[in-house]
Chains A and B, each alone.
Chain A
Amino acid sequence: MSEGTHVDDDFSDHYDDSLGAARRAEVEAHLASCARCRAEYDRFREAVAQVGLLGRAAAPRGFDHRVADAIRTRSAGRFFGRRAFGDRVPFELLAALGLAALVAIYVLMTW
């Protein structure tokens, strides 16, 4: 490959390492010999790397609750309703209290 045949069209695939082996070898050989393409590819790689460094912006705190509130409001309370005992009724606790009450009543009646 001559220095006149620049490889700008392959920059993205080369960066993603998605060129075939033969083409990759050609591009790498060209980059080694062509100062213009090497400089351009260095700028290309730096720009794309900077985007990657942005990282993922996290959703604001409480976002999930605000989504649930929106669904509850728009469904007129059919979904995501507020519950007196939190997310679920504490059946185990209610059963234990009921049993204790029955035992207490039985003891009082037989005493």
Chain B
Amino acid sequence: MSLRERLFLRRLRERDEGAFREMIEQYQNQIFNLLFRMIGNKEEAEDLAQEVFVTVFKSIDQFRGDAKLSTWLYRVAVNHCKNRVKYLARRHDRRTGVLDETAERAAAAQGGEPVAAGRIAAPDRALEGAETERLVQAAIAELEEDHRLVIVLRDIEELSYEEIASIAGVPEGTIKSRLHRARLALKEKLGKHM
């Protein structure tokens, strides 16, 4: 950890508001994106991202500085996300992961209802713009939770295997094999539309 990072961490531990504002500004998009891609609903993702930063504010003393701050933030976000996914599953909230705002906008633009991955409103334009995004997001949402996580962290956030392993708390080899299976599953889900 560099001197600058150590000084920044000290300010965070002293609950320096300016430092926290800097941290939120710097990492809000990464954390929000991870949660949005994992849950598939922007309102839920924002609510959860807010919880993540409040937790970080309260528990920054637990960060020992043996990993990058971003890694620790991702770890906190993943823990929150797993709890929220379980909660949503208990609530049987089937909207999450299938109907995000992009999907609703895309469907509205076509004058139709939002659809899930298996039903394509306009097959001839399935690979274009918002429709493609909706299909890909829906395919990601259908993956197992662990597979979804590695896909988002690797193929969207472009993190290294080492960092993903540190976030998920499993060996790098596990991440590599998990990513391979996740990508194969994604290929099968998207393959029928490509």
Interface residues, chain A, with chain B CB atoms under 8 Å away: 8-9, 11-13, 15, 40, 43-44, 46-48, 50-60, 63-64, 66-68, 70-71, 74, 79-80, 87
Contacts and interface: CB of A to CB of B under 8 A. Distances in A.
Interface residues of B, number: 43
B105 to A, nearest CB: 13
Contacts of B45: 57
A87 B54 CA distance: 20
A56 B156 contact: yes
Interface in B129-163: 132-133, 136-137, 140, 151, 155-158
Contacts of B25: 64
A53 B17 CA distance: 35
Task: Point out which of A50, A53, A55, A66 has the most chain B C-beta atoms below 10 A from its C-beta.
Answer: A50
B22 to A, nearest CB: 10
Interface of B: 15, 17-18, 20-21, 24-25, 28-33, 36-37, 42, 45-46, 49-50, 53-54, 57, 132-133, 136-137, 140, 151, 155-158, 176, 179-180, 183-184, 186-187, 190-191, 194
